Structure 1
Amino acid sequence: MSDRQMVHIGPVRVAVIAASSQVRENLQTIVEAHPAFSVMGSAADADTLVESLAGSVPDVVVIDSEPDESDPLKALFEREHTPPGLVLLLDDLDSDWVLDALPTDAAAILSRNVMPAEIVASIEAVAAGLCVLSPDVLARLLAGRKPLRWTAPSGPFEALTLREVEVLAMLADGLGNKEIARQLDISDNTVKSHLSTIFGKLGAANRTEAVMLAMRHGLIMV
């Protein structure tokens, strides 16, 4: 069970970012119509949303705009909270950064043309700690047609310890840091230290890249 799953006792707290006021209104209507959701706020951009939330962090943010490479929700991620899951609604699912647009353990990447029911299902999935990808994005991810933004080392990887392999396997199973710490009976800081070492040894920039690299090189099986 991920950190995000554990905190959900009440309604799923949802925020909306969309440049168009009409799109924001439509997305809010979809969220408000679901009895298990509550709207925390909405805004035309991430900075305005963060300011309006006044320190609170939603469970899920629905974004109808293409984030830039600097990550429009960086201000939310830097807070001492479980980062929000993201539901990204995009026109171009083929753009270069799509496979890098998973800055949290849970995210959905969907076309803007999806039906309201698909948005609802994606919010529910992301709130439960899952990832949701359109068939096109999933096919690209599996086929490796769009490489992730990392540069593989020219030589062999530095050997991982058995504990580091254990942590990698748990990452592949979708576990968050706190759950990994509980299962291995270690502290959260020790998990973070293991992750930092793993990323350095594999040449990975984030959890997704680390798992993909480990799978490609036979370090873990899923």
Structure 2
Amino acid sequence: MSDGQMVHMATVRVAVIAASSRVRASLQTLVEANPALAFLASATDAETLVDCLAGLVSDVVVADIEPHASDALKTLFELGHAPPALVLLIDDPDSDWILDTLPADAVAILPRNAIPAEIVVAIEAVAAGLCVLSPEILARLLAGRKPSRQAASGEPFEALTLREIEVLAMLADGLGNKEIARQLDISENTVKYHLSSIFGKLGATNRTEAVMLGMRYGFVMV
């Protein structure tokens, strides 16, 4: 069994930080409803969470925070063990804050109105060492900066949405349009729409090329 397969099979241990008790309860329910995830603890801030964990180590911390509270997250990265990955739920983030102060290498940054499925996908992605950004936040990060990747045509690389990443991952697994539609509970026409968008953004001309480019850009895990 490969290391990649073991990562997918392992239960991801999740902790939650949120000032709102309603948000904490909602995120706890979301985690506990997914058999691939294990809920450890929740708290209003990072320092309190450390006390609640009582020596337990989380793989991922989901944090609903304000930008001015970012320094408090560093508490989680000074405990002498491998730092947890982060899933941040935040409104209108400032790009300089994101680039300069986030302590984690594996991080997802989502808007507070992200749907539950997007949060779960983000948790699993950062647990595997990836970064996840919404299209709006990625556009903000790239504003005024030279893109690091470009399509073969020379046009700036455009990020895939979370749904498009899901579809691309299923392509990599060899699934056809009907099976993708069934698993995602969408129509085949919607699958075709996503494929067209994926091909256009990656500069791919067929499914195989799209998967290869997806691997190169880090959207598909080998």
Q: Which band: TM-score by shorter chain?
A: 0.5 to 0.7
Residue 55 of structure 1 is matched in structure 2 by: 55
Instruction: Tell me which amino acid in the other structure corresponds to 1:122.
Output: A
Q: 1:45 to 1:28 in 2, by over 3 A?
A: same
1:14 aligns with 2:14: yes
CA distance in structure 2 between the partners assigned to 1:100 and 1:15 by the alignment: 24
Residues 93-102 or 56-65, more deviating: 93-102
Residue 27 of structure 1 is matched in structure 2 by: 27
Query: Is the helix fraction higher in 1 or 2?
Result: 2
* Alignment RMSD: 2.8
Instruction: Tell me which amino acid in the other structure corresponds to 1:144.
Output: G
CA distance in structure 2 between the partners assigned to 1:5 and 1:69 by the alignment: 36
Q: 1:86 to 1:4 in 2, by over 3 A?
A: farther
1:91, distance to aligned residue in structure 2 (A) = 1.6
Q: Percent identity?
A: 69
Q: Deviations over 1:54-85 (max 9, x none)?
A: 22220000001125366223232112211000
Residue 122 of structure 1 is matched in structure 2 by: 122
1:79 aligns with 2:79: yes
CA contact (8 A) 2:63 2:89 kept: yes
SS of residue in 1 equivalent to 2:68? coil
Q: Deviations over 1:137-179 (max 9, x none)?
A: 212323336xxxxxxxxxxxxxxxxxxxxxxxxxxxxxxxxxx
Runs of 4+ in 1 over 4 A off after TM superposition: 3-9
Structure 1 residues not aligned, in runs of 5+: 146-221
TM-score, length of structure 1 as denominator length: 0.58
Residue 88 of structure 1 is matched in structure 2 by: 88
Instruction: Tell me which amino acid in the other structure corresponds to 2:58.
Output: P
Q: 1:108 to 1:62 in 2, by over 3 A?
A: same
Residue 136 of structure 2 is matched in structure 1 by: 136
CA contact (8 A) 1:110 1:134 kept: yes
Instruction: Tell me which amino acid in the other structure corresponds to 1:110.
Output: L
Residue 179 of structure 1 is matched in structure 2 by: none
CA contact (8 A) 2:85 2:104 kept: yes
TM-score, length of structure 2 as denominator length: 0.58
